[in-house]
Amino acid sequence: MKYIAPFQYSLNMKKHVLIVGGGFAGINLIKSLKNDKRFKITLVDKNNYHFFPPLIYQVATSFIEASNISYPFRKLFSENKNVKFHMGSLIKINSENKSIETDTGILSYDYLILALGTESNFFGMENVKKHALPMKNIEEALYLRNHILLTFEEAARNKDITEAEKLQNIVIAGGGPTGVELAGMLAEMGGYIAQKEYPEIKLRLSSIYLIDALPSLLSPMSKLAQTTAYEKLKELGVKVLLNVSVKDYVDSKVILSDGKSIETETLIWTSGVIGREINGLPEESIGKGRRILVDAYNKVENTENIYALGDISLMLSEEKYPKGHPQLAQVAIQQGKNLAANFKRIEDEKVLEPFRYSDKGSMAIISKYNAVVDLPKHSFKGFIAWLTWLFIHIIPLVGFGNKVQLAVDWFRLFITNNPSIRLILYPKRNAGNGSS
């Protein structure tokens, strides 16, 4: 394995901060340290871009382009001479010699920060893992987009009613914000677009199912949000199935815990996440859901100079969150900033500040002009909530161009109800320039 030395930093740069994962936590840690010349920073990520997960479902439904919510790391930090990017996937941590092994080289560190996020949890169901469609990253979202468009084309050609119904059915497992937002958008697209562009399809055969094992949608949110989501989705024609879970997916049949089944070629999985497996950490440092146990300063338990941030971290020390913090973007952002401040305090020989989560609230969009917002002291719904959702989701986007482009695209699409990026693409080498 090739050893890759850090940048040739100037002599006054003392500490090499090695960050694995360029999500909210990693990016905000870098932003808080990038102008402090006492640190040299290397970001490691298997992708060469940062992306905005809360809007991934809009890429999957052909509503916005992936470029609207993505930004290259090298461009993001091109003006910061003490920040380096290394493209690669983490293979193993070697804490004895303070280095990590990636599939593209070995990197040393003074501080190692694990901010890899999570992956889909299929709860041991191998058929579901093999055939369901997750939506955790850009690649999966684009694959899902292609799959939906391809099944619509196949349904348009199919004359067999039973087969056509199976092709048009969409099952979404998971009634959290992602599942609710996805169900609402697919239902609206069916009304606005399918009727116009797929005249061959008998829409009465189409059904969107939203399934959750809990007794309500949006379970972590307020009763107002739960009730609003349920009622609005029912109005849109979504078949909401509560207190039932997916148990298997065999021969294009989703098998439910109540013994019933749904025939479909499209099972979208938003039902749970699990921490990414990391080799080299002590077994006693791993907690429930494969999340990494950390102390009040985000240092990984039973290690030295190794920290974990965001969704993959599990902090049990804050009294208000005895089971750990919610896996939300705001937690990751705040942890990244707090850890950066503590690294500076270490250099300044000051007392460290434990992490305390400031709850900014949560929200979900249900349909056009309709959303729900839970703030720490009150909740609201409807058009104002919808505008709030739009505004809040533009602010964290990386890059001024992304913010402007997304705002323009949203404005146009919400007026016309007709996104025009429903392209089925098959990227491959040497595809040729001719047509057939």
Q: What is the pLDDT along the chain (436 residues), one digit of tens a residue?
A: 554 544 444 445 589 999 999 999 999 999 999 999 999 999 999 999 999 999 999 999 888 889 889 999 999 999 999 999 999 999 999 999 999 999 999 999 999 999 999 999 999 999 999 999 999 999 999 999 999 989 988 988 888 888 888 998 999 999 999 999 999 999 988 777 777 777 777 656 679 999 999 999 999 999 999 999 999 999 999 999 999 999 999 999 999 999 999 999 999 999 989 999 999 999 999 999 999 999 999 999 999 999 999 999 999 999 999 999 999 999 999 999 999 999 999 999 999 999 999 998 999 999 888 999 999 889 999 999 988 988 888 887 777 677 788 888 777 777 766 666 677 776 655 544 444 4
Inside any domain, residue 50: yes
- Specify whether 223 is located in the same domain as 101: no
For residue 427, what pLDDT is reported? 61
| CA nearest neighbour of 42 among 12, 7, 70 | 7
For residue 416, what pLDDT is reported? 67
- Specify whether 162 is located in the same domain as 258: yes
> What CATH number is given to the structural domain containing 171?
3.50.50.100
From residue 198, alpha-carbon distances to 110, 136, 168, 340, 393 in Å are 58, 29, 12, 52, 32
- Specify whether 157 is located in the same domain as 284: no
Inside any domain, residue 7: no
What is d(CA 263, CA 252) in angstroms, rounded to the nearest whole number?
Answer: 6
> What CATH number is given to the structural domain containing 87?
3.50.50.60
Inside any domain, residue 249: yes
Last residue of a domain, one of 271, 290, 312: 271
- Specify whether 325 is located in the same domain as 205: no
- Specify whether 90 is located in the same domain as 32: yes
Range(s) of the domain holding residue 289: 15-119+274-347
Last residue of a domain, one of 329, 347, 365: 347
- Specify whether 264 is located in the same domain as 166: yes
- Specify whether 131 is located in the same domain as 19: no
- Specify whether 259 is located in the same domain as 279: no
For residue 409, what pLDDT is reported? 76
Q: Which two tokens stand for residue 56?
A: 């991934």
- Specify whether 137 is located in the same domain as 45: no
What is d(CA 402, CA 399) in angstroms, rounded to the nearest whole number?
Answer: 5
Inside any domain, residue 404: no
Last residue of a domain, one of 271, 297, 316: 271
- Specify whether 79 is located in the same domain as 197: no
365 in helix, strand or coil? strand
- Specify whether 313 is located in the same domain as 338: yes
For residue 421, what pLDDT is reported? 65
- Specify whether 249 is located in the same domain as 282: no
Count Cβ neighbours within 10 Å for each residue of 31-40 and write b for 16 or more, e otherwise. bbbbebeebb
Inside any domain, residue 424: no
For residue 62, what pLDDT is reported? 86
Q: Classify residue 191 by its DSSP letter.
A: I
Inside any domain, residue 137: yes
Sign of torsion over alpha carbons 285, 286, 288, 289: positive
Inside any domain, residue 433: no
Q: What is the largest CA-CA distance in the chain?
A: 74
> Do the beta carbons of residue 258 and residue 246 sit within 8 Å?
no
For residue 64, what pLDDT is reported? 86
Inside any domain, residue 385: no
For residue 431, what pLDDT is reported? 43
Domain count, the chain: 2
